[in-house]
Amino acid sequence: MKINLAKILHNKKIEYLLLLIIIIGSFGVRLWKIQNPIADWHSWRQVDTASVARIYVDEGIDLLRPRYYDISSIQTGYINEKGYRFVEFPLYNLVHTLAFEALPKIGFEVWGRLISVTSAIITLYLVYLIGKKAGGSMVGLGAAFFYGFLPFNIYFTRVILPEPMATMFGVLGVWYFIQYFEKTRKLDLFLSSIAFSLGLLIKPYIIFYALPIVYLYYKKHGIKNIFKNIPLLLALDIALVPLFAWRAWMGQYEYFIGIPHLAWVYNGDGIRFRPAFWRWIFGERLGRLILGTWGTVPFIFGLLFSDIKKKLSNIPLLMLLGMLLYVVVVATASVRHDYYQSVAIPAIALVLGLGLKQMLKSKTSGILFIFCTFMMLGMSFYMVRDNYQINHYEFVEVGNIVDQSIAKDARVIAPDNGNTVFLYYTKRFGWPVLEESIDDVITKKGADYFVSVNKNDTDTTNFKKRFETFKEGGNYIILDLHRPIKL
């Protein structure tokens, strides 16, 4: 007995109602704990991103010279006195700043998360449109559902990171090129290139979403006379020249000040294609964390999907292939940091949408699909739930005390083994670790205060004997480095 949802979804009102429910539900689940301080999973990366926008709010917007509070040499290997942050073009930070300045009552950090949530909802709609083109309404709605409710994606599309916005632009570029493929409107071609340009400026690895575009172009025009296709060449310029210009601007800074080490990202530890690579990427991340083990069943069904009547049925698989190439190229970073896989979720959701259509062709596989989906969401949430946990609330509390107690232009040492969360909450430029002798940091680099939430560690104990206490509480101490104790 077939479960024929296709006839039900043939009614556009029902289809759009289901889509609206998915959108509202997806937005709602991302509001859970949205007011939490940035002290949860990957908080170190989130505060570095948030710092750029906060400095814009305090000192004005300078898109060409983004800055953050860390003026140490940890991330770049070079002295970074001004705290330059040349990682991604600060488009996300610009939107964050403007949104907060327009409605500050919502809260600075809440706005940062809402920018990501909004990007995710737009991506969800684009995933629905692409899925519908690839396999019909059922695939579109299924892909939208999975993109909206995969617990891994819920968390990583409500964080203060640029990935959700970069992913949105990458998928938008694919969608507009599909429109160009079908209608041959040059406007769609240029809109696709603009979207990709913005995505690449934020995160250059969005280039891997270009694989279906290459495929569609080949299907439409072949490879003959490719260098005589003026609109295509212009579109390529629009997509790539801003990225090259931004990278050239970054490179003018001597010794790449403000540009974190990059070599490790690709294969810095030699893990690519080793057994550990396959285990972490496909076993731990895709299999357990994203698909909750049971989701591998509809995922495999999706990989086997074939519909020769649909010209665009291969797009989800090509997007997935692009993401496979991405994790192979960016091997070490993909293994070390799970948020690197967040960019692949649109492709994964589309394949799951294809799997939905395949499995609902019969009653038996349909029941299996429902069971697998239920188990997938439950087990994945079990894996992801600890991401929301606040690990060091004392950083927030003591950071606020520092902010209220010392001058705005003071420079502080807020040590946490290089983690910048504590430093971020002081709202001061400074050092998240003591890289050299305390005397050199004071005399040569201008440190003004030392603040610690671990009053018993070696440095705090020694420095307390050398410098006068500016302020002290039950779980913290602030030392004035310009007032040595006379022995």
Indicate if 315 and 366 belong to the same structural domain: yes
Query: Hey, which residues does 476 pair with through a beta bridge?
Result: 473
User: Tokens in use for 276?
Assistant: 């550990």
Indicate if 323 and 381 belong to the same structural domain: yes
User: Three-state DSSP class for 468?
Assistant: strand
Indicate if 102 and 141 belong to the same structural domain: yes
User: Tokens in use for 87?
Assistant: 């990682």
Indicate if 467 and 357 belong to the same structural domain: no
Residue 190: give the domain boundaries. Answer: 5-387
Nearest Cα neighbor of 204 from 169, 158, 256, 153 is 169
In the 8-state DSSP scheme, what is residue 67? Answer: B
Q: Between the CA of residue 73 and those of 207, 214, 324, 344, what are the distances in Å?
A: 30, 41, 33, 32
Relative to beta strand 476-484, strand 412-413 is unpaired
Indicate if 460 and 368 belong to the same structural domain: no
Number of domains in the chain: 2
User: Three-state DSSP class for 473?
Assistant: strand
User: In the listed set 372, 387, 402, which residue is the last one of a domain according to the structure?
Assistant: 387
Indicate if 301 and 271 belong to the same structural domain: yes
Distance CA 476, CA 452 (A): 6
Distance CA 352, CA 362 (A): 17
Per-residue pLDDT for the chain (487 aa), expressed as one digit of tens each? 444 666 666 678 888 999 999 999 999 999 999 999 998 888 889 999 999 999 999 999 999 999 999 998 887 777 788 888 888 899 999 999 999 999 999 999 999 999 999 999 999 999 999 999 998 899 999 999 999 999 999 999 999 999 999 999 999 999 999 999 999 899 999 999 999 999 999 999 999 999 999 999 888 888 877 888 888 899 999 999 999 999 888 877 655 555 666 667 788 788 888 999 999 999 999 999 999 999 999 999 999 876 656 778 889 999 999 999 999 998 888 888 888 899 999 999 999 999 999 898 888 888 999 999 999 999 999 999 999 998 888 899 999 999 999 999 999 999 888 889 999 999 999 999 888 889 899 988 889 999 999 888 888 999 898 988 998 888 899 999 999 887 6
Look up the pTM and report it.
0.92
User: In the listed set 387, 409, 427, which residue is the last one of a domain according to the structure?
Assistant: 387
State the burial class of residue 122 (Cβ atoms within 10 Å of its Cβ: 0-12, 13-18, 19+).
middle
